[in-house]
Structure 1
Amino acid sequence: MNDMTEEWWPELAPKVTQTVAEKPSYRVVDVHTHFSVLAAAEIARPFFKPEYEPRSLYSSAETLRYNREYRASARQTAQFEDAEARLADMDKQGVDLQVLAVPPTEYFYWLDEPHAVQASRVQHERFAEIVARHPHRFAAVANPPMNHPELAVEVLREAKRDLGFNGFELSADVLGLDLDHPRFDVVWEAAAELEMVAIMHPQGFTHGQRMTDYYLINVMCMPLASTLATTRMILGGVWRRHPDFQMIVVHGGGYLPFYFARTDHAFEVRPELRKHIDHRPSDYLRKLYFDTNVFDPDMVRHLVTEFGAEHVLLGTDYPFDMGTVDPLAFIERVDLNDHERRLVLGGNTTRLLRLDQP
């Protein structure tokens, strides 16, 4: 690395500043944020192996170094771990309420059952504490131990019953196992029964050998992982078997919402795609929801046009540097009418996660 790179490196981290957009009179809700729970990370730390974290496993030395320094900065530490620091940023952004979820590095799917339950409960208790302290500013979703599906169902029931969580976060794979595998059907069935919405957020891409340079393991692979997972879930018949299961896919849903016509065409001409579904793949895709963290206003407009404003939700990926720093200003650039904007900025998340319920 040359000296010039080292000089401008610290300036890469985005700093939240006062929004340049006008704050609407209605509530603005951010469905895609991450909050770190260090006590749970300490439980998991003794059992960690590098192969459990594909985003690090396939990162270059330059990326790993930058990530360490960036995450250790005082600003990032406060944003990830301090609710009060987040409130100050939210006020600048014009965001009234954040939905808290763990960072994907804290799924800890590789833990055995006793430690997995312990880590999830510590995370959930921390989230519940923050929500209780700031009920009008934060909501939260669960982190079920997906590598133990029956246990994941128990954890979801507990989070719903005891803490009032109406959603859960999950990765785009579980230790490399795809989500169309039948062993996860008990989770989708329980989620539909409990009316808990899934938020798919990939942890990385499990086959990233060609993606180590240029931060492609995040830039390209995060939406790629969601694309693969969503496509497999559709073609594997997840929504045919569980039509009431609801899922939000962050990063605008990956690439599939912008190129589903090819998959529809393959469904018409290839028998391999028709084993588990009896409708076009895009018919199932239209049941899903997508956030706005896509960086291009025209892409948000495409999502609204193609899937309806009711299926698009404001999401920033706060506090990661691959997030939307001024979400109100970004959505202001999208060609939306007042009704569409109201739905995107908070109405849809409020409805899906039932945020108006006590």
Structure 2
Amino acid sequence: MAEWWPELAPRIEPSRAPRHHGLCIDAHTHLSVQSAAAVAKPFYRPEFEPRALHSSEETLRYNAEYRASPLNTAQFENAEQRLADMDAQGVDMQILSVPPTEYFYWLPESEALRVNRIQHERFAEVVARWPDRFAAVANVPMEYPALAVETLREARRDFGFGGVEISADVLGRDLDDRRFDPVWEAVVELDMTVILHPQGFTHGQRFTDYYLVNVMCMPLASTLAVTRMILGGVWRRHPDLRVMVVHGGGYLPFYIARTDHAWRVRPELRHHLDVPPSEVLRSIYVDTNVFDPRMVEKLVGDLGADHVLMGTDYPFDMSTVDPVGFLAAVDLGEDERDRVIGQNAARLFDIKVPT
């Protein structure tokens, strides 16, 4: 039976929508760097990766075979395959980030620095060869905040990366922890944008079946992370921090009224926050990988068109395979569509748009 599993993965077909007249940027994609993964592999233990730890045997088997299929391997590792898929989608540029399985926060400090540099050099190589088709963001060793700041500065100075991708937790430690304040300070100082992308959920014991470790746990992890950051005063301490939360921001944008209500009636929520949580939520950015045009309309309506970016999660099978066609079904004004499809990403990630 396993032989047919990889064929279930969606293939990139020509977009059903006309090519967008303006710049089209996919702000949420992943490029695997296997040379870095090879360095990290000897240090790996299953408990380091909750998404794998809480996956069923069926899910682990499917993922291994899907990931090993020739097409998916090429999509994850080969820039030329990506370019062909982007041309079919009508996408001008991708912003490259590591797959969340390649954060490698559990590495020893010296190895973490080595692995991050290998990743950054590979990204820089791809961007240098196709500067009008790719941009990239950094991956930094968040378990070591001082080293993460050093790596951020190097990524901005030496590689020109306009952002950094960060998990929704760091080995189970939440992002409102004050030990991460130096990282947020550096991000703001360097004029970079954070992509917050979870890697599973640390307490996923009840999500093993039905692929819930991804279907529910990925947006759940983001919801928890952003809620804690808001209530923990991260934006109060760092008001200029720019964070794009993938998968439409998780569940929080669609249920923030309950958190606002709790903030009004419960003292526990007001220790670090003197405005309703929804006011802070409006300062975050989200992508469009939500699969329902009505959800994109709500995100634009609540957060503003300046805070929503086209993102697909390419090349995972949980991606939006026809992003331009998907957004064609979203009720947006022409100016709003231009911002969502490309202008916001260019602005937030310091992408030099050709004139």
Quote the offset at 1:277 in angstroms.
1.0
In 2, the alpha carbon distance for the partners of 1:291 and 1:229 equals 16
In 2, the alpha carbon distance for the partners of 1:144 and 1:117 equals 8
Cα deviation 1:84-118 (Å, max 9, x = unaligned): 11000000000000000000000000011100000
Q: Say whether residues 1:67 and 2:63 are aligned partners.
A: yes
Q: Say whether residues 1:213 and 2:198 are aligned partners.
A: no
- Name the SS of the counterpart of 1:356 in structure 2: coil
| Residue 126 (structure 1) aligns with | 122
| Residue 288 (structure 1) aligns with | 284
Quote the offset at 1:65 in angstroms.
0.3
One-letter identity of the residue aligned with 1:267:
W
Quote the offset at 1:10 in angstroms.
3.2
In 1, the alpha carbon distance for the partners of 2:225 and 2:68 equals 31
In 1, the alpha carbon distance for the partners of 2:32 and 2:177 equals 29
Cα deviation 1:150-169 (Å, max 9, x = unaligned): 10000000000011001000
User: How do 1:22-171 and structure 2 match up within 5 A?
Assistant: 22-171=18-167
Quote the offset at 1:139 in angstroms.
0.1
Change (3 A) 1:121 1:280: same
In 2, the alpha carbon distance for the partners of 1:47 and 1:290 equals 33
Change (3 A) 1:198 1:348: same
One-letter identity of the residue aligned with 2:129:
R
In 2, the alpha carbon distance for the partners of 1:305 and 1:175 equals 35
Stretches of structure 2 lacking an aligned partner (at least 5 in a row): none
In 2, the alpha carbon distance for the partners of 1:339 and 1:321 equals 30
- Specify which of 309, 316, 320 is matched with residue 320 of structure 1: 316
| Residue 350 (structure 2) aligns with | 354
% identity of equivalent residues: 67
| Residue 310 (structure 1) aligns with | 306
TM-score (norm 1): 0.98
Q: Say whether residues 1:194 and 2:190 are aligned partners.
A: yes
| Residue 278 (structure 1) aligns with | 274
In 1, the alpha carbon distance for the partners of 2:105 and 2:5 equals 32
Q: Tell whether the 8 Å contact from 2:5 to 2:65 is kept in structure 1 after alignment.
A: no
In 2, the alpha carbon distance for the partners of 1:211 and 1:224 equals 11
Cα deviation 1:188-229 (Å, max 9, x = unaligned): 011001111000000110000000000000000000000000
One-letter identity of the residue aligned with 2:45:
K
Quote the offset at 1:130 in angstroms.
0.3
- Specify which of 202, 224, 227 is matched with residue 228 of structure 1: 224
In 2, the alpha carbon distance for the partners of 1:24 and 1:322 equals 23
- Name the SS of the counterpart of 1:23 in structure 2: coil
One-letter identity of the residue aligned with 1:204:
G
Quote the offset at 1:8 in angstroms.
5.1
Quote the offset at 1:357 in angstroms.
6.9
Q: Say whether residues 1:252 and 2:248 are aligned partners.
A: yes
In 1, the alpha carbon distance for the partners of 2:3 and 2:174 equals 42
Q: Say whether residues 1:345 and 2:341 are aligned partners.
A: yes
After the TM superposition, which of the residue ranges 230-239 and 347-356 deviates more from structure 2?
347-356
Divergent runs of 4+, >3 A: none
Quote the offset at 1:9 in angstroms.
2.6
One-letter identity of the residue aligned with 1:329:
G
Cα deviation 1:236-295 (Å, max 9, x = unaligned): 000000001110000000000000000000000000000011111111111000000000
Count matched residues. Answer: 354
Q: Tell whether the 8 Å contact from 2:346 to 2:353 is kept in structure 1 after alignment.
A: no
Quote the offset at 1:52 in angstroms.
0.6
- Name the SS of the counterpart of 1:151 in structure 2: helix
TM-score (norm 2): 0.98
One-letter identity of the residue aligned with 2:241:
F
Q: Tell whether the 8 Å contact from 2:200 to 2:213 is kept in structure 1 after alignment.
A: yes
In 1, the alpha carbon distance for the partners of 2:251 and 2:276 equals 17
In 2, the alpha carbon distance for the partners of 1:357 and 1:128 equals 18
In 2, the alpha carbon distance for the partners of 1:35 and 1:345 equals 21
Q: Say whether residues 1:20 and 2:26 are aligned partners.
A: no
- Specify which of 294, 299, 319 is matched with residue 295 of structure 2: 299
In 1, the alpha carbon distance for the partners of 2:353 and 2:212 equals 41
Alpha-carbon RMSD across the aligned residues, in angstroms, is: 1.0
